[in-house]
Structure 1
Amino acid sequence: MNAGRSRLYAFLRDTLREWRSPELRVLAAALVVAVAAVAAVGFFTDRVDRGMEQQAATLLGGDLAVVSDAPIPERWRSEARALGLESIRSATLPSVLFTPDDDSLLVSVRAVDPAWPLHGTAQVAGDPQPETRTQGPAAGTAWADGALLQALDIAPGAEVELGRLPLEIDAHLRLEPDRGSTLFDIAPRLLIHFDDLDRTGLIGPGSRVQYQLLVAGPPGAVQQFRGWLQAELDAGQRLLDLEDANPELREAVNRARRFLGLASLMAVLLAGAAIAVAAHHYAEQRADAAAVMRALGASGRRVLRLFFLRVLAIAALASGIGLALGFAAQFVLSALLGEWLATGLPPPGPRPVAAGLGVGLVTAAGFALPALLRIGRVPPLRVLRRDLGLPPVSVWLSGLLALLTFGALLYWQAADPALALWVLLGTVLALLLLGALGLVLIVLLRPLRDRGTMALRFGLANLSRRGGLSAIQMVAFSIGILALLLLAIVRVDLLAAWERNIPPDAPNLFFINIQPGEEQAFADRVAASGLPRPEMEPMIRGRLVAVNGEPVRAEDFADERARRLLEREFNLSHAEAMPSHNRLAAGRWFDPDATGEWSVESGLMERFGLRLGDELTFRVAGTPVQGRITSVREVDWDSFRVNFFVIGPPALLANQPRTYITSLHLPAELEADKNRWLREFPAVTAIDVAALLAQVRSVIDQATRAVEYVFLFTLFAGLTVLYAAVQATREVRRREAALLRTLGARRPQIRNALLAEFGSLGLLSGLLAAVIASAVGALLAWQVFGFDYAVNPLTFVFGIGGGTLGIALAGWLGTRQVLNQAPLKVLRGPE
């Protein structure tokens, strides 16, 4: 026991002594950055997951929910009561709210039964503290959230109009417990009594209303009711349980976890490069100690185990520090993305801690082991013959082990073998491309070594002499600068180019739910205001139920968007001629009097695997409508005009129930005219496209800022690679500086030479990053967005300027001590 304690004490003492080694400090710093990046993302997403799990019943609104496109049958509520379950009805739809001053606002109307909410409590503004409500609004009154009150500049007690129904704002809604996420809310909330819904006049054929039945009670009764409902459900109706609570938020968090997690792994990759360089130099520095141990009888395996355990001990300590920093850093992510969850986030569990420690130890082992293997093979004769160096490192072993390590981390983070494989292949190809371009740039610099000042010549000569190491440094910094340029400049340029691609007179308003028989009168009112007479497009709700006679089910498709399309009704339309903003991609347009034909948008064809000639069957108002695909259309979605996935000939759909939809560009000075149209036609809903785009941009900006924040760890990891490379050449630089000073060079000249070397490295890295960032921006604009992209000169200004100044400063800070060494002491040393 005492011997074991003594060995442990000696190991810890020697490990702490080893902490003075610059190489191990670099290794530790790299691990701190890597673990902090992974832990920050892990802590944040774990808190969101735990928050959703703890609040699942509250977010769902009950223990079980039924969502339906049609009103909830009364027998369902009767069955719930018979089983001893509480139940309430709810309905949600978009509409326009008016004030007596003729102001209007698109709102999300929710009608609830008096017993709402089943779980949790609602909160309304009080004086001085918020008030708790356990029942919904009374008939004739409404609760409005803060965004609505602020937008209309009204307060509780104000009179408003919803359709044909006057309402009094009874309370300022502070918390709607089962609203869950605000991530995809496109309008402020107005809460009303369920019985008031019919009195608004907003409900009619084609109304965008979604009904819910929420139940709560003993688990056994809930399961029994669930089983009874399974046989009752029809198309357009589905069950939701606690696992389905807030699916939009859950999907957003899953995507954020993957995206942010993959971004954090870029910091891990660069940290791994720094670890590999530091471990290589550490092995060189400890070769003498290993030779002495071998000469005294220690086996190579024991020597390797000793040094490897020291590195793992340092890695464990660094991982602990990284976890602490990651825990602190996740509060910034919570601030950036905290709006995704309406309530506060609970503390995280132990899972991110274990994951962070695992990432730290695996990264340390995977990237350091190839270099440390050399220590176990150092010859004992090196004690007497200093010229005997370490066995050469195996490039294949190092590359394979690093690749396997990074691939395993990718698979763990992505939880998708295909995605992990593609990201791994893309990363390897990108690194090879960057490395090759870096070597080319370094070779192109060689003719400049004989020109310019002494400092510049010496700096360029150092880059050329250490071409491989310089290329590694350039790759590391190019990745960091590339990430920042893509997120800080190219992203903004793409959004600006997208906005420029939208015509100035593009429609900014959509009017939906225009009732049959009112379409011409509505068009007349628009034309009376001096605007072009809008085209009224028929819109028919239909559900895709079969392809080529075979029933289609959402669960048959892996693509999530395809599933969502099948779970709801399509918006069908009919037209005699193909819309002018569409392009015929394949097939032929049908004759106006044709029956049994469809024209389908090309993206939908690809998503569902359809081909020309396939027969599609839609259920419209309970009646099957069949037709074959005779044409495929390319749709210009950026036109902001009315578009449809599926269009049929008039003879096929003319007798089906429909509403009408139109879009137009409304100048700001005609806002009052729009309000008058909507007052006269209360069932019509106006959707402000500009407001929707602003909401989407807000979500994108939040996510982008979070990614930019995570990529800061990548930049720090790149700095760690530079510092590791500087430390790896420290002894060589010390001797070079000593020789130069012996030959008469002054300290400012040597300092300027170092600045020239690192400045040139930064310039090349920034140039490479700017070129690739511009190419990626152009490729995204061309392939993804479909518009022209103009290269922003600021990409090169910030890339080259920032890279030159930043890396020159970092390099100088890392090599200052080289200038403080006495030349005689250095030249008398072992080297």
Structure 2
Amino acid sequence: MNRALRYSWISLGREWRAGELRILALALVIAVAAVTSVSFFTDRVQRAMSLQATELLGADLSITSPQPIPGEFAREARERGLDTARYVSFPSVVVAGDDSELAELKAVSDGWPLRGTARVSEALFGEEQETRSVPGSGEAWVEARLLQLLELSVGDSLEVGEISLSITRVLTYEPDRGGDLFQLAPRLMLNVEDLEATGLIVPGSRVNHRFLVAGDEAAINRYREWASAELAENQRLETVADAQPALRNAIARGEQFLSLAALVAVLLAGGAVAVAARHYSDRQSDTSAVMRCLGASRRFVLQVFTLRLLWLALLASTVGLVLGFAAQGVLAWLLSGWFATELPLPSLWPVFTGMGVGLITALGFGLPALLRIGQVPPLRVLRRDLGAPPPAMWLVLGLAMLTLGVLLLWQAGDVRLAGFVLGGAAVTVAVLWLAALLLVKALTPLRSRGGVALRFGLANLSRRGALSAVQLSAFGLGIMALLLLALVRVDLLSEWEGSLPEGAPNHFMINVQPDQVEPLQALFERHGMERPEYYPMIRGRLSAMNDAPVRPEDYTNPRAERLVTREFNLSFAGDLQPGNRVVAGQWWDPEDPEPGFSVEEGLAETLGIELGDVLEFSIAGERVRAPVTNLRGVEWDSFNVNFFVLSSPGVLEDFPATYITSFHMDEAGQRMLTEAVRQFPSITVLDVRALMQQVRDIIDRASLAVEYVFLFTLAAGVTVLFAAIHATRDLRRRESAVLRTLGASRKQILAGLLAEFMVMGALAGLLASAGASAVGIVLAREIFDLPYTVNPVLWLAGVGGGALGVGLAGWLGARSVLRQPPLLTLRQVG
């Protein structure tokens, strides 16, 4: 073994001049760089969340509730020697002069935060400084974005509800905010002692009360056991491990998506490895035969070539690691808005991941071809027609699928997701290959038409039909992914925006008290606007179904778990709301309704609710029971007010309710909103336009990140093409020599090669455009319920871009076949 190890390393340098090894190494570099760029980035995210875990919570433990948290929790914590603090957060509109803006208010007590420190500055974009204090009474700390929106500076005042607060500092960092993903509005922080004076907290207000605890780990654990037994239905206990679950889930999904995108590059790189290894094994048949004649055993020959592949994989993986580390910096910049602080440097774990991917890819896709080398008979030295037997198809496909499955499971971390992706990839590749093969066959009748260069190119494509089909399907897959991300995503967003009718609601008004409804409607009329309809909203938690308690642990669906732990927005109605339709059961008789609930069909499917089931809701300490009499389909994207659960009249009217409405307003209506907020400080107005823009910005940034990762896919696709070109280099060189001997010029042959590759690129783009259009139609109709129209630019970009890109890459790779004199080529053949 030592002799094989030493000889494989020495011979690797000598064999490096073989183009197959360079292509194989390049494919491995791309595969490792693609995976490690994502791995380094996700490792930095995980390290940031681990290093700042207590800061994500601002404490060691917290108790959250939509209602004020009883004082017994604070008394028990103090008796156990623990530090405590509290804060209340909710959205509200703040006013400065004639301008108003939505802000995320946070009223904090002394001692906040218990873990980590806040950072502030004395002026807009001034020097940051850490602080352990909180705003004093009558003071406000605000984020720079709010100052810019209201055109204010430190020292100015703004109205928060019924009081005026002086801006004393610019808030630059909160340790327990956990990142600015999906933030609706900029932060305004005030002292909790000023909260009551604002008049913003009224019955039914949507607020989040949080009680924070910190101290010795043993004391925290004992307090957690005590508090867990004392929690009410609407209270939730969180530890450091539970901090920011929504953020963690969103980041985890993003990491999975980026990892799967990187694996597409690995798949194509694996194809390049397989093609290059196959050609390399063919060219090494002579070497193997000579070694056998000189006394080397079949086992020794196999060891040498396998070790040579391992050496190459290690070297290429090292280069890929360096490139991956550099590439993750760009990825971190693209997604920088997801995080509130600078990400720490990654650990060494992605290094082992990259090495593992390089070795697995090399062995999984390259080993089947190299195993043939040991089977070359020594007699090949005398008889050139003897060579290695072709590898068994079951071995090639089986090992490739096993390799891809292992990598998918490794990166996705989810057996079900990996299975779906593997099956989808196999079906997609099979369909693309079959379509590519049919397209190549369809070119056969065209070989006798057109100019000399075009006929030559078409003849090459149709003569090597199987190889051309593989190249077409590989490039079609890469181009299709880019088209989906670059164009179909934009088209779907445009269709979604276009599906909204003119004058669709773009504002919501919530936290409206019953006695404020009529004055607010009159205010709309005075400003020349249509009176909006206000709907009652009651907060309630689903506590039982068919007399069986509803518990999160009874569900395996994460969304179902979250739904049963939160409070629902309930309402009652006699008539069916616009945009709602009954899909099962019967709507109640408005004149004599029986007690019952109407449930949105998606919620019913998630929680397993069926017609006739008896639901029990806990509302303000009381319980309400009624059967499900119908299921509704709801147009959520209409931006009208809608509810998951409605009751018939007479079921919920006696419970305290706030009112909600949605309405359309242009810029001229801003004065009306400012007047409304001044007259009724407790109401909250949400500008959906700003929310839609923020979501669109997040989607765009995430899409850019995925497109960036798919650049590795494009590079891997080009490598597949170069591998295929190199695999046919000897054949092309002989063809070129014959054609030049018969009188063809270098210019004519080069034009023929360019025509071949441009036709291949155009066909690959055609396949990609068809695939991207099909996927876009399925997504629009089945997922988003939109009338999708195929964009002709998609086809132009696919066909034209494919022809130019593949044509240029193929032309650059094939020029070398013309450098060798025809006489030398013909002598070598003879």
Confirm or deny a common fold (TM above 0.5).
Answer: yes
Structure 1 residue 594: deviation in Å?
A: 2.7
Structure 1 range deviating more: 175-184 or 426-435 = 175-184
- Counterpart of 2:50, as a letter, is E
Could you tell me how far apart the structure 2 residues matched to 1:679 and 1:553 are? 43
Aligned: 1:65 with 2:76: no
Q: Which residue of 1 aligns with 2:779?
A: 780
Aligned: 1:83 with 2:83: no
Aligned: 1:818 with 2:817: yes
Q: Which residue of 1 aligns with 2:71?
A: 74
- Counterpart of 2:621, as a letter, is G
Q: Which residue of 1 aligns with 2:450?
A: 452
SS in structure 1 opposite 2:597?
A: strand
Q: Which residue of 1 aligns with 2:645?
A: 646
Q: Which residue of 1 aligns with 2:404?
A: 406
| Cα distance per residue 1:371-403 (max 9 Å; x no partner) | 111101111111111111211221111001100
Could you tell me how far apart the structure 2 residues matched to 1:464 and 1:495 are? 40
Could you tell me how far apart the structure 2 residues matched to 1:454 and 1:767 are? 24
Q: 1:294 to 1:7 in 2, by over 3 A?
A: closer
Q: Which residue of 1 aligns with 2:704?
A: 705
Structure 1 range deviating more: 741-750 or 195-204 = 195-204
Q: 1:609-648 alignment to 2 at 5 Å?
A: 609-648=608-647
Q: Which residue of 2 aligns with 1:230?
A: 228
The answer to whether the Cα contact below 8 Å between 2:90 and 2:104 also exists between their aligned partners in 1 is yes
Could you tell me how far apart the structure 2 residues matched to 1:245 and 1:184 are? 16
SS in structure 2 opposite 1:231?
A: helix
| Cα distance per residue 1:783-821 (max 9 Å; x no partner) | 111121121111111111111011111011111111111
SS in structure 2 opposite 1:226?
A: helix
Q: Which residue of 1 aligns with 2:436?
A: 438
Could you tell me how far apart the structure 2 residues matched to 1:569 and 1:178 are? 23
Structure 1 residue 7: deviation in Å?
A: 6.2
Q: Which residue of 2 aligns with 1:659?
A: 658
Could you tell me how far apart the structure 2 residues matched to 1:715 and 1:451 are? 32
- Counterpart of 2:383, as a letter, is R
Q: 1:672 to 1:575 in 2, by over 3 A?
A: same
Q: Which residue of 2 aligns with 1:261?
A: 259
Structure 1 residue 446: deviation in Å?
A: 0.9
Could you tell me how far apart the structure 2 residues matched to 1:812 and 1:131 are? 59
Could you tell me how far apart the structure 1 residues matched to 2:625 and 2:16 are? 76
Could you tell me how far apart the structure 2 residues matched to 1:7 and 1:627 are? 79
Could you tell me how far apart the structure 1 residues matched to 2:489 and 2:826 are? 53
The answer to whether the Cα contact below 8 Å between 1:291 and 1:382 also exists between their aligned partners in 2 is yes
Could you tell me how far apart the structure 2 residues matched to 1:645 and 1:245 are? 27
The answer to whether the Cα contact below 8 Å between 2:8 and 2:307 also exists between their aligned partners in 1 is no
Structure 1 residue 720: deviation in Å?
A: 0.4
The answer to whether the Cα contact below 8 Å between 1:114 and 1:138 also exists between their aligned partners in 2 is no
Could you tell me how far apart the structure 2 residues matched to 1:497 and 1:528 are? 36
Could you tell me how far apart the structure 1 residues matched to 2:347 and 2:157 are? 48
| Cα distance per residue 1:399-445 (max 9 Å; x no partner) | 01100110111111111111111111111000000000001111111
Q: Which residue of 2 aligns with 1:38?
A: 35
Q: How many residues align?
A: 827
Could you tell me how far apart the structure 2 residues matched to 1:418 and 1:129 are? 49
Aligned: 1:417 with 2:415: yes
Could you tell me how far apart the structure 2 residues matched to 1:822 and 1:731 are? 13
- Counterpart of 1:803, as a letter, is G
Structure 1 residue 830: deviation in Å?
A: 4.1
Q: Which residue of 2 aligns with 1:121?
A: 117
Could you tell me how far apart the structure 2 residues matched to 1:567 and 1:337 are? 31
Could you tell me how far apart the structure 1 residues matched to 2:25 and 2:817 are? 22
Aligned: 1:110 with 2:110: no
SS in structure 2 opposite 1:652?
A: coil
Structure 1 residue 565: deviation in Å?
A: 1.4
Aligned: 1:332 with 2:308: no
- Counterpart of 1:125, as a letter, is S
Structure 1 range deviating more: 459-468 or 63-72 = 63-72
| Cα distance per residue 1:145-187 (max 9 Å; x no partner) | 0111111110111111111111111111111122121012110
The answer to whether the Cα contact below 8 Å between 2:122 and 2:154 also exists between their aligned partners in 1 is no
Structure 1 residue 771: deviation in Å?
A: 1.3
Q: Which residue of 2 aligns with 1:20?
A: 17
- In angstroms, what is the RMSD of aligned CA positions? 1.2
- Counterpart of 2:114, as a letter, is L
The answer to whether the Cα contact below 8 Å between 1:87 and 1:215 also exists between their aligned partners in 2 is yes
Q: Which residue of 2 aligns with 1:733?
A: 732
Q: Which residue of 2 aligns with 1:11?
A: 8
SS in structure 2 opposite 1:512?
A: strand
Structure 1 residue 37: deviation in Å?
A: 0.5
- Counterpart of 1:692, as a letter, is L
Q: Which residue of 1 aligns with 2:549?
A: 551
Q: Which residue of 2 aligns with 1:344?
A: 342
Q: Which residue of 1 aligns with 2:607?
A: 608
SS in structure 1 opposite 2:650?
A: helix
| Cα distance per residue 1:426-480 (max 9 Å; x no partner) | 1100000000000111111111100011111111011001101000000111111
**Structure 1, unaligned stretches of length 5 or more?**
none
Structure 1 residue 132: deviation in Å?
A: 2.3
Could you tell me how far apart the structure 1 residues matched to 2:16 and 2:105 are? 63
Structure 1 residue 8: deviation in Å?
A: 4.9
SS in structure 2 opposite 1:653?
A: coil
The answer to whether the Cα contact below 8 Å between 1:595 and 1:627 also exists between their aligned partners in 2 is no
The answer to whether the Cα contact below 8 Å between 1:571 and 1:646 also exists between their aligned partners in 2 is yes
Structure 1 residue 554: deviation in Å?
A: 1.5
| Cα distance per residue 1:550-579 (max 9 Å; x no partner) | 111122222222222111110010000111
Could you tell me how far apart the structure 2 residues matched to 1:33 and 1:491 are? 26
- Counterpart of 1:150, as a letter, is Q
Say which of 458, 465, 468 aligns to 1:467: 465
| Cα distance per residue 1:64-117 (max 9 Å; x no partner) | 111111112112111111111110011100000001x22100000001012212
Q: 1:448-597 alignment to 2 at 5 Å?
A: 448-592=446-590, 593-597=592-596
Could you tell me how far apart the structure 1 residues matched to 2:626 and 2:675 are? 41
The answer to whether the Cα contact below 8 Å between 2:7 and 2:304 also exists between their aligned partners in 1 is no
The answer to whether the Cα contact below 8 Å between 1:181 and 1:246 also exists between their aligned partners in 2 is no
Could you tell me how far apart the structure 2 residues matched to 1:69 and 1:571 are? 13
Say which of 386, 407, 412 aligns to 1:388: 386
| Cα distance per residue 1:571-625 (max 9 Å; x no partner) | 0100001112111111100123434311111111111111111111111111111
Q: 1:687-698 alignment to 2 at 5 Å?
A: 687-698=686-697
The answer to whether the Cα contact below 8 Å between 1:594 and 1:652 also exists between their aligned partners in 2 is no
Q: Which residue of 1 aligns with 2:50?
A: 53
Q: Which residue of 1 aligns with 2:270?
A: 272
**Structure 2, unaligned stretches of length 5 or more?**
none
- Counterpart of 2:675, as a letter, is R
Q: Which residue of 2 aligns with 1:367?
A: 365
- Counterpart of 1:145, as a letter, is E
Q: 1:176-215 alignment to 2 at 5 Å?
A: 176-215=174-213
Identity %: 53
The answer to whether the Cα contact below 8 Å between 2:4 and 2:304 also exists between their aligned partners in 1 is no
SS in structure 2 opposite 1:168?
A: strand
Q: 1:95 to 1:564 in 2, by over 3 A?
A: same
The answer to whether the Cα contact below 8 Å between 2:122 and 2:168 also exists between their aligned partners in 1 is no
Could you tell me how far apart the structure 1 residues matched to 2:336 and 2:299 are? 51
Could you tell me how far apart the structure 1 residues matched to 2:678 and 2:690 are? 21
Could you tell me how far apart the structure 2 residues matched to 1:433 and 1:407 are? 19
Q: Which residue of 2 aligns with 1:804?
A: 803
Q: Normalising by the residue count of structure 2, what TM-score does the alignment of the two structures yield?
A: 0.98
Q: Which residue of 1 aligns with 2:280?
A: 282
SS in structure 1 opposite 2:468?
A: helix
Q: Which residue of 2 aligns with 1:827?
A: 826
Could you tell me how far apart the structure 2 residues matched to 1:701 and 1:759 are? 32
Q: Normalising by the residue count of structure 1, what TM-score does the alignment of the two structures yield?
A: 0.98
Q: 1:654 to 1:702 in 2, by over 3 A?
A: same
